[in-house]
Structures are given as structure tokens and as C-alpha cells.
Structure 1
């Protein structure tokens, strides 16, 4: 077959997929999302060596992803979210799929070393996370998806993808290659946040919430200056909030709640602009927008004593002495200044003539300048 783009999404298709993908070796885009398809994904899917975009989102697929999927080395986008897939990811999927820019495994039942939100993976976040090279730059590094049209012409395919953004599944079309998210929430990840994550300076959103992460928050997160969303809530993180958070100038959503953080929230930064709910559940935290830290209490209004009253009376008496003298000085200054100039012009005829000659000269100069224009 010469078919290169097959889109059967958003229908009422059901039952299992036939095991016949070896006959579609020219296929570049396969979209089957939003149907009622069931069963396992057949091993013949690995025959699609030219496949660049695979959309299986929101069906009822089950079983493990076939090992042959690692043979689809041209894949740029792989979306199997909202299914019932189980088991481990193919071990070589990270090594073989070198063009992969978008991977969505959300809301399945995968298990093993690593997961991307709402699965059952456990273990630590790999220290080699810095190898996600597409996220080490703010530039669009997503390879173009091309498919053959009319047997000879290659056409660019502009894909779209649903991404969980601020609690909602939102679709992104334009600038998809600049949408650089890591969402690993609602799993059983443990250990610390690897410092290598600081290399992913293109990250726009980082969600590691609802896991079992512990240790302190690495100050190197402050290097992720493109971050707009950071959610580390509901973990076991401890220590202080790094002062480097002041570098996250684009941060519009922050959630550090329900950890074991302590100390003062860094001041003089945008951190005071977030609601107190972003920090709740950390009894050791203090400072705006939470309660003030010990030792920062301002003087209370009811702590005045007798000495304070005497001091206040001295201030009032001092003011009473100053103001009459000030009024007299202003009046005398006006009288002396006014009559020092005007009185001299009245008494001294030569000065008076010189003054009016100067006025006439200035008037003539202004008149000539205006008429020259």
C-alpha cells in the first residue's frame, strides 16, 4: 500500500485492531484516538519504520506495549494516554527512538522504573534525565513530520497534542515543539530531585506532585528560567526554599504544599505574590504570605510607657517653638525680596529705563524669530 496518512479518530470504532500493519510500510501518520478500540496492540506495528506520529489516546487498549514498537525509529510523537496498558516500557525505546519529541503515557497502568503521571511506576527519577536533549534549549527542536502526497510530493504535517496544563487537558497546535513539559505526578517515585534536571532550561512546566520524593529542593532549579508552572506538592521534601527561586521570573503557578519545608520564604521575590495555599501543609515555613517569622514582630501600639509620653510631649513643644518663627521668616523674606527689586526700580530712574529697554529688546527678538519661520 502507498497510504501515508490514516486518520480514523473521533468515531465509534470498536473491537480489536487487525494484525496487518506489515502491509502499510509507507504509513507516516496513524491517528486512532477517541474511539472504543480494545485488545492488545499487535506486534506488526513494529513494521511501520516510517511512522512519525502515532495517536492511540482515549481508547480501551490493554496489555503491554509490543517490544516491536522500538523498531519504529522515525517516531516523533507517541500518545497512548487514557488507555489500560500495563507492564513495562520496551527497554530500548529511549535509545532507538532518537527523534521522539512528544511522549504521553498518562492514565494507564504502566509499571517499572519511570512513569509519566497517573500510573503505578516506582523507583527514582533517573539521574540521566539531562539526556532529554530536546528540553535543553528554548528553541523548537521537534523534527518536522512529513508524509508523501500524490505519490511524490512530501507534505509537512502540522500535528496537535493534548497536554495537562493547570489542571485541564488542553490542546496545543501552534509551536508544539516549544511546549516542553515533564509531568510525573501521582506515582510512587522516591528519592531526591536529580540535579541534572537543571540542564533542561527549555522546560515550561514541571509537575512532580503526589509522589514520595524526599531530600531538599536542589537550588539548581533556579536555572530553569523558562518555567511557568512548578508543582512539587504532596511529597516528603524538606529543608528551605532555595533563594534561586527568585530567578523564575515567568513562574505563574507554584505549589509547594504538603511537604516538610521549613525556614523563611525568600523575600524580595515573586514568591510573596502567590496565595498562601501554595505553601500550606509545611508547618516550619514562615514569612509572607504566611505568618511572620519569630523575631520579626513589629512593636505593639500598647507598649507606650511614661517615658514615651514625655518624649511625645517634648516633640509637640518643639513643634510649637518652630512654627511661629517659620511664619515670620516667610513674611519677612517676601517683603525684603519684593521691595528690594521693585523699590529700586521706583527710586532709581536709570535702572528703570534699562529694565524697560531690556524688555523691549526681548520682545523685538521674539517677534523677529516668529516672523522668520
Structure 2
């Protein structure tokens, strides 16, 4: 083997060695230091045993690193169903390229939502659910202008819903269900800045009437069930809307059902346990319903024949004032 060939071989070997070495250690040191602080703050749980300072943090469990365009910074922190106790570490705000932050199904996670989260300007998904977080839904969440999915469900959050959440220009889904929230639905929710988000506010203690401005929006999914809301909710109906799922059950709504038209896209409609009056419109036979329940209201008249309405059993209709026809008893 001549000297030129040996030199080329040596250069190729060195290049290959460096490539492999670099590929094994791509974790940003600042991110690594921050993650180790987070681990310590959570009392070094076994769930994070892979967070070994001697290894590359991009290989650690519960994490994702971005590609070279973001210099392999940490872009996702997802801690799910582990024996984790304590509060959300403030150091999460020191992961500047984070796009996804999830703490979910952690029954021993307590305290309030960490203000340092407001530092995460690239955050798209924030999911803090099935924990024991307390305190309010914080106003500072409206600073997260890239946020698309906000899920704070299944917690012990209290107080009112911040009207500023409607300022999030990229929001696609807002889930505040199963908390202890009180007060009205904000008037500002009738004027979201971007696309109309899916809205889940069920199993709270919300009260008052729904702002009429919400009727100007075309929601795809709404769940306001199991609250103390009252008044007219007919603004959510309309033949020109494209709503797929509407759940207003177990509130105190009162409106004339005979005057509302269902969207041609409606697949799920639950109105049970309210004070809704009059009769079911014939137009509803044209609706592609997959789930339907109007029980425990004050409806009267014959259930229209046709479409999907006879495919549901009597449970979907019973305990009304004088509703009749299949699947209930025939009209006299």
C-alpha cells in the first residue's frame, strides 16, 4: 500500500470515527444541565433513571431532541404515568426550544402551574392533565403565541376562566374540563383571534348564560356538560354550521327546540337533563347522528319518523313532558 493510499485511508478512518463520536453526543450542555436540575427537583425518581449525566441527553427517556436546524436542542418533555411527586420544576422554563410539555397522569404532582412556562415562546402543546394541580388558570398562558393545544383537564384548578385565552392566535383545542372552575364563560370566547378551537369546559361549576357572541363562530366540537349554565343555547345550532359534536347535557338551559336547525355534519348531540321545550323538528331526520340524547327535558309531540331518530332506544328520549312515537309509546 503506497503512502498516498495510506494517507487517504487514515483520513477516511478519522472522519468516520469523528462522525460516529459526534452522532453519539449531540445533546446541548445547557439543556443537559437544566434537565438534571429538573430531575433533582422531582427527587430523582426512578421514572427518570435514564437521565444519566454520563450519557447523551438526546437518548434519555421522556425527551425528544430537534434536528440540526435547532442545534439538537430539547424540543419535547413528556412525563407520563410515573411515580413522580412534588411540583412542576421552574427549570422547565429554561428549555428555550421546547415545543411540547406534558405532565400527565401524575397524581402526586401538586402546586400551581409554574409561571416559568411563560418563557417557552416556541411551545405548541401544553398538557398538564390528570394531576393534582391547584390554583387558577393563569393569565400568563396568553403569552404563548405559538400554542395550539392547551389541556389542563382533570385537575383541581379553581377561579374563573381568563378571557385572555381568546388572544392565542394559533389555538386549535382548549380543554379545561373536570376542574373546579366558577363564573361565566368569557365574552371574549366569541372572538378567538385565529381558527375557532375545539372547546371542552365540562364538569366544572360554571354559571350564567352563554355569551351570544359564541353563536357567530362555527365550532367543530363543544362540550359544556355538567355545569350550572342557564338560558338560551340555541346559538350553537344552524344549518350552515359544520359542528360535529355538541354536548350541553346536565345544565339548566331553556329554549324552544322546534326553532333550531341542526348542522348537516352533526354526529353527536347530547342535551339531556335541561329544561328544553316544544318538539323535535322534522329536519332532524336528515342529520347523520351517531349519538343522540334529549332525555330529562320538557319536550312534547311526536318523534319524527325517518333518518337516525328511530335507531336510538327509549333511553335517549324518556322523562320528557309528553314526547311520543317510536321508540317511545305510540301517540294517542
> Under a length normalisation based on structure 1, what TM-score does the superposition of the two structures give?
0.62
Structure 1 280/34 Cα, relative in aligned 2: closer, same or farther at 3 Å?
same
- Within 1, Cα distance between the matches of 2:302 and 2:260? 19
Given candidates 161, 182, 193, the residue that maps to 1:111 is: 182
Given candidates 212, 222, 226, the residue that maps to 1:182 is: 222
Aligned residues: 246
Structure 1 218/67 Cα, relative in aligned 2: closer, same or farther at 3 Å?
farther
Given candidates 289, 296, 300, the residue that maps to 1:262 is: 300
Match of 2:27 in 1: none
Structure 1 132/60 Cα, relative in aligned 2: closer, same or farther at 3 Å?
farther
Structure 1 86/6 Cα, relative in aligned 2: closer, same or farther at 3 Å?
same
Given candidates 222, 231, 239, the residue that maps to 2:278 is: 239
SS at match of 2:133: strand
Given candidates 148, 151, 161, the residue that maps to 1:76 is: 148
- Within 1, Cα distance between the matches of 2:276 and 2:215? 21
How far is 1:15 from its partner?
Answer: 0.5
- Runs of 4+ off more than 6 Å: none
Specify which structure has the higher proportion of helix.
1
- Within 1, Cα distance between the matches of 2:295 and 2:247? 13
Match of 1:124 in 2: 209
Q: Which runs of 5+ in 2 are unaligned?
A: 1-30, 32-72, 186-199
- Within 1, Cα distance between the matches of 2:227 and 2:78? 32
Is 2:138 the counterpart of 1:66? yes
Residue correspondence of structure 1 range 16-165 to structure 2 within 5 A: 16-35=87-106, 36-94=108-166, 96-114=167-185, 116-130=201-215, 132=217, 135=219
How far is 1:16 from its partner?
Answer: 0.9
Which stretch of structure 1 is more off in the superposition, 261-270 or 101-110?
Answer: 261-270
- Within 2, Cα distance between the matches of 1:132 and 1:4? 33
**Deviation digits for residues 167-214 of structure 1, max 9, x if unmatched?**
xxxxxxxxxxxxx42111110010011335437833222111000000
- Within 2, Cα distance between the matches of 1:107 and 1:211? 15
> Under a length normalisation based on structure 2, what TM-score does the superposition of the two structures give?
0.69
Match of 1:202 in 2: 242
Residue correspondence of structure 1 range 259-298 to structure 2 within 5 A: 259-294=297-332
- Within 2, Cα distance between the matches of 1:218 and 1:99? 36
RMSD of equivalent CA atoms: 1.9
- Within 2, Cα distance between the matches of 1:68 and 1:97? 11
How far is 1:61 from its partner?
Answer: 0.4
Q: Which runs of 5+ in 1 are unaligned?
A: 136-179, 295-373
- Within 2, Cα distance between the matches of 1:128 and 1:91? 14
Match of 1:15 in 2: 86
How far is 1:119 from its partner?
Answer: 0.4
- Within 2, Cα distance between the matches of 1:48 and 1:192? 39
How far is 1:57 from its partner?
Answer: 1.0
Q: Give 1 or 2 for the bigger CA radius of gyration.
A: 1
- Within 2, Cα distance between the matches of 1:200 and 1:107? 31
SS at match of 2:315: helix
Structure 1 199/266 Cα, relative in aligned 2: closer, same or farther at 3 Å?
closer
